[in-house]
Structures are given as structure tokens and as C-alpha cells.
Amino acid sequence: MPPTLLDHPLAADLLTRLRARGTSPADFRELSRRLAVVLVLEATRDLPVAQVEVRTPMAPTTGAKLWSGIVAVPVLRAGLGMLPAVLDLFPNADVGPVGLERDELTLEPREYYAKFPPLEERQVLVLDPMLATGGSGSAACAAVKRAGASDIRFVCVVAAPEGIARMEGDHPDVPIVAAAVDERLDDSGFIVPGLGDFGDRLFGTSS
């Protein structure tokens, strides 16, 4: 299925400032959190609710109680920049990080860590800011499926057409929510125009 793209001026403004090479790590972290809020709201648009009765100061009425079955799965390390937004919106969400490293020669991921809470009958948000080759995104989705997840949403900041094609081929049942789809990958597997190495910019580790 085609990705769901944010169509909101706030998201466009936040993404533009994230792309700017002069954005400091502190500002980059805050912009990432704010943009992730918009992304997560879109990804959970169909989150189930239960009808409840509530009495206002004026009269009784019917309201909604939010379902609490959210699990956030940040792909280490860059996905940690999106995690605060999930926990701000859903404080009772569980967190199951997965660690994936990219082999710079093959561009394929290697899993070095995964620890998940129960995933059956829960909505799993896989958080990975950059959907580039799609290798890490596909591997993360495969990992949560092996752990029992069936309702998965992949949430990213920027995607490349190559990554979208990989995800659609490997996981056609996983919706993708993104702020933008960029032009292409370069010879090193980085998104163009992209915004550079998200993890380095998030943690201030750029060389």
C-alpha cells in the first residue's frame, strides 16, 4: 500500500528545519519530538476506543475511553528520537527496543538487541526515522512479527522510493506513515536530499 504522507503546514515547517544542516543537536531533538507527535497522531488515527458514560457539570453524556494497547518499538539508535512523542501521547505505552546495525558494505542490517513486551493483540509502532534501503525497517517488522505482532505501523520521518518498495515487497500488510518521500538513495545508501545521518545529528556525534 502507498505510504500515508503528512499534509499539514506544521509538519512541513518542522521537517524543513530538521533538514537544515545548521540545526543544533538540541534543536534537532526538539524538532524531532514535535514532528513525531504529528506522525504518531496520524499512525494511530484508527486506534479503537470504548464508549463510556460521563457526567459533566451540566448533564450526563457519552464519551470515549482510549484503548491502551500501544507498544512503541524504536529502532536503535535513531528511533529513540521519536520515542518521547509516543510516551507523551500514550504514557501507558510499553516500549520494546530493537537494535540493528547497517553493514556499510552490504547495506543490510544485523540485529544485535531485541527485547519486547507481549505483542499479541496490541498495536505496534515501529519507529525508524529514515526509511532508506528498507533493510532495517523490514528487519524490525520481521522481528516484531516473530514476537507475535500482527497490527504493525511503520512510522518514519523521511522515506526513499527504494525503501518503500522493499517494505511493500516484504511487508505489504504494514502501513507506512511518513513526513516526506524524497528523490532517491545515493551510492552509500543515504537518502537524497534527506537530512543526513539522523542518529549523528540527534546525539551530536557527527564527525
Residue 144 backbone phi and psi in degrees, to 5: -70, -30
Residue 110: helix, strand or coil by DSSP? strand
Annotated active-site residue 16? The verdict is no
Place of cell 519486547: 116
| C-alpha span between 56 and 182 (Å, rounded) | 48
Write the single-letter amino acid at 105. Answer: L
Known catalytic membership, residue 151: no
Residue among 42, 76, 28 at smallest CA distance from 179: 42
Q: Is 102 a catalytic residue?
A: yes
For residue 13, indicate whether it is catalytic: no
- Cβ atoms within 10 A of the Cβ of 121, count? 10
Pick the catalytic residue from 17, 33, 77, 102.
102
Q: Which three cell numbers stand for residue 93?
A: 505505552
- Cβ contact 2:178 at 8 Å: no
Catalytic residue among 13, 106, 110, 205: 106
Kindly list the catalytic residues.
102, 106, 197, 200
